[in-house]
Chains A and B, each alone.
Chain A
Amino acid sequence: MENLLMEFLSNTGLALADYRNVIMILVGIVLIYLGIAKRYEPFLLVPIGFGILMGNIPVIKDFGIGIYEKGSFLSYMYYGVIHDIYPPLIFLGVGALTDFSAMLARPLLMLLGAAAQIGIFATFLGALALGFAPNEAASIGIIGGADGPTAIFLTAKLAPRLIGPIAIAAYSYMALVPVIQPPIMRLLTSRKERLIKMEEPRKVSKKEKLIFPIIGFLLCCFIVPGALPLLGMLFFGNLLKESIIVERLARAARSTIIDTVTILLGIAVGASTQGDVFLTGKSMGIFVLGAASFAVATASGVIFAKFMNLFLRQKINPLIGAAGVSAVPNSARVVQVVGQAEDPANFLLMHAMAPNISGVIGSAIAAAILWSFVSV
């Protein structure tokens, strides 16, 4: 009986834990705190934070519990991450939630969504310079797209072992958009520029909104077929929304499906960050480069908006360039807050949605391009 008790005690989490598990559990608690108390992306940070707690309870090897063990409950949840099942389903929900009117009303603003993708490629270069392999560098660069599902999609293809740190970095920076972006936006714009009021966008007809997902899908996927799983589902979700006739499917996509997948994705990604796998020099490098990527993406959007103003008769407020990073709709909200801090009567949210949504399309295209370049 004594032996049995000793064996039991030696198999408890307390006996198996090392300092890395403790650090990760603290990280998980911080994410849960940020989600609940500070309300930074609670729908993402709470499941991820709890997933980190679940993943860092030390378990006996080959007991069929750990996320990296075949046949375990967590490994089945993780299957959807490494086999690119969750990201397209999230895109389906995003499509069914998103109103593309702002973008259709002023398509020129889509270029700001393209400009913000400079951050991805700049960070790709930075990661290569720091000694990361091209497949890892591409996965790190995509953090600058500020799009968690896209980052997971590409990393699962190119560097599956880095999914944990990259997903955590991408989602953390998405949650920290209100903290990271405003100083960069203020630094790169003058007060006069921040006060620019943009003209009311034209009214977009129902037919336009209905035709757009089909044209958008065909055009993007013929140019970059690698983006098909993400953009296909994004545009399909939007078609469901705009067609009205299949409202029931649209409602399922934007509520039940996206909510279920968010829980599965959050828990699985969180649980994949076991201390011994996550706390490495590479992960720290990923976090630093991710932050740089995000900052460069924000700056690129703002600077490109200023560049466009050199040629436009009706000036655009350069703050909306920051919404080119695709954290929908957080970065657009940040633009609104920063703009209203200068002039409470200036409403930029509607205008910022255009680069914000095109940023989603742009980052999916960038991911597909990197995938095709690096996997050749």
Chain B
Amino acid sequence: MVGLEAISAHNGWAMSVLGISIVFAGLLLLSFAVSQIHKALEFWDNCYQRIKKLRQGKNRQNAVTPDLTLPDDIKESARQFKLLIERIGEPFLLPKLLDFSEKRGLLHPHSSINNLLQVKLIIPDGTGHFLWNHEVERNIQKRSRV
């Protein structure tokens, strides 16, 4: 059997039309899925950033605000380190802060940073980085005025 008769007898028309339709549908679906990947990733990244910011905010709020008066030498190093941190940008890594302070020639950077950690002027943000605790700073300033 040959010709159009053979095509019809073997159901060729239906197979071809359905076949090419499935190929188109499959690749159309794949192209749609592919076109959404970068949007989904963008959305995910935005959500992640938002969660990170919220967590940072919470850490700031949860930071214990000890009510203490600082000796003058710690006050001075706090002022110097605050300027350094503003320069580095927040959040920052402790080794980076240490490195900066050594380069700037600050005295006893290890013990100064340790003091600032103890009085909670420098607090961890929960991701391995650290933040400057502005609330504790304000409290200390208020106490000094009193």
Contacts and interface: CB of A to CB of B under 8 A. Distances in A.
Interface of A: 103-104, 107-108, 110-111, 113-115, 117-118, 120-122, 124-125, 128-131, 134, 137, 204-205, 207-208, 211-212, 215-216, 219-220, 223-224, 358, 361-362, 365-366, 369-370, 373-374
A231 to B, nearest CB: 10
Interface of B: 1-4, 6-7, 10, 12-13, 15-16, 18-20, 22-35, 37-38, 41
B23 A111 contact: no
Contact of B24 (A108, A111, A208, A219): A111
B38 A107 contact: no
B27 to A, nearest CB: 4
Contacts of B4: 129
A366 to B, nearest CB: 5
A224 B22 CA distance: 9
Contacts of B13: 125
Given A111-B27, A128-B10, A223-B26, A118 B37 contact: no
B22 A223 contact: yes
Chain A to chain B: the 7 pairs with minimum beta-carbon distance, closest first: A107-B31, A121-B16, A107-B34, A110-B31, A114-B27, A131-B2, A107-B35
Contacts of B27: 110-111, 113-114, 358, 361-362, 365
Contacts of A207: 41
A205 B38 contact: yes
22 contacts: A107-B32, A114-B27, A121-B15, A124-B15, A124-B16, A125-B16, A129-B2, A131-B6, A137-B10, A207-B41, A208-B41, A211-B37, A212-B34, A212-B37, A215-B33, A219-B33, A361-B27, A365-B27, A366-B19, A369-B18, A370-B15, A373-B15
A128 B8 CA distance: 9
B12 A124 contact: yes
A103 B15 CA distance: 28
Given A114-B24, A128-B7, A104 B30 contact: no
Contacts of A216: 30, 33-34
Given A129-B6, A134-B10, A370-B19, A104 B26 contact: no
A373 B41 contact: no
Contacts of A130: 2
Nearest to B20: A121
Main secondary structure of the interface of B (DSSP, over half): helix
A13 B34 CA distance: 57
Contacts of A223: 22, 25-26, 29
B22 A125 contact: no
B20 A118 contact: yes
A115 B28 CA distance: 11
Nearest to B5: A129
Given A110-B27, A114-B26, A369-B18, 5 more contacts: A128-B6, A137-B12, A211-B37, A215-B33, A370-B15
B10 A362 contact: no
Q: Which one of B2, B28, B34, B37 has the highest number of Cβ atoms from chain A below 10 Å of its Cβ?
A: B34
Contacts of A128: 6-7, 10, 12
Contact of B23 (A129, A366, A373): A366
B19 A373 contact: yes
B70 to A, nearest CB: 46
Contacts of A111: 24, 27-28, 31
A82 B32 CA distance: 36
Contact of A220 (B7, B16, B30): B30
B30 A219 contact: yes
Contacts of A103: 34
B3 to A, nearest CB: 5
